[in-house]
Amino acid sequence: MRNWGICLGILAVFSCKAQQVYPLKTDHTEVAQNSYLKDVNNELDSFIGTWQGNFNGNSITLFVTKEIHRFFNENQYKYYKDILSIKYVIKNSSGVVLQNTQNMVFPAEQLKHTIYSQWAEDSGNSLLFYYGGTNCSVGWGKIILKKLSSTQISWEYRPNDIILDDSKCPPGTDINIYLPETKDLIFTKQ
């Protein structure tokens, strides 16, 4: 009986494989399941913080946080990744909240309202984000943040088109895009 326990212990040790770690910009579709895309160069850190900007009379506050080892389950790909997550509050000129994701909790499979970093460009001075869109996936697309200084970033949002009908989006659903659809919008660190 004792030998049987030893054999099971040895089998468990050899069957457990260490998680494979790759640089952040690695394509998750080209690595083993459950691999970890790690921010080995700390490229994400300078974007962390609370940022304030204004666009077309609206006040936009971005809350940029770093999530270490976040699990993603996309189609057949399962992996972990260090990311930046952007949550936001958008208010009109009267102070009325138009959209607020600041306290939302996003499960691994949820894309609605999420803004997650993909990878850094330009030696860490520019970050590409994927935005999952709002209701009925309206507004999904790409956001690019560029570091201008330690206290200012530039925002660019490129939403993609989507065709909606009553089968995809119930009538009366708020399908407004409140994020600023523009390029070179300056945000200042608070």
What would the pLDDT profile of 83-98 be if each residue is shown by its tens digit? 999 999 999 999 999 9
Band (110; pLDDT cuts 50, 70, 90): confident
What would the pLDDT profile of 123-160 be if each residue is shown by its tens digit? 889 999 999 999 998 999 999 999 999 999 999 999 99
For the chain, give every domain's residue range: 20-189
What does the radius of gyration of the chain's CA atoms come to, in whole angstroms? 20
Band (1; pLDDT cuts 50, 70, 90): low
SS3 7: helix
pLDDT of residue 7: 47
Q: Is 6 a residue whose pLDDT tops 60?
A: no
User: What is the spatial distance between Cα 133 and Cα 158, in angstroms, rounded to a whole number?
Assistant: 11
In this predicted model, which residue has the larger pLDDT, 87 or 164? 87
Q: Is 15 a residue whose pLDDT tops 60?
A: no
Q: What's the chain's length in residues?
A: 190
pTM score, whole prediction: 0.85
* Secondary structure string (H, E, C) spanning 153-189: EEEEEEECCCCCCCCCCCCCCCCCCCCCCCEEEEEEE
Q: Is 10 a residue whose pLDDT tops 50?
A: no
pLDDT of residue 12: 44
> What is the DSSP secondary structure assignment for residue 25, as one 8-state letter?
T
pLDDT of residue 5: 52
Non-local (6+) Cβ contacts of 64 within 8 A are 47, 48, 49, 50, 51, 84, 85, 86
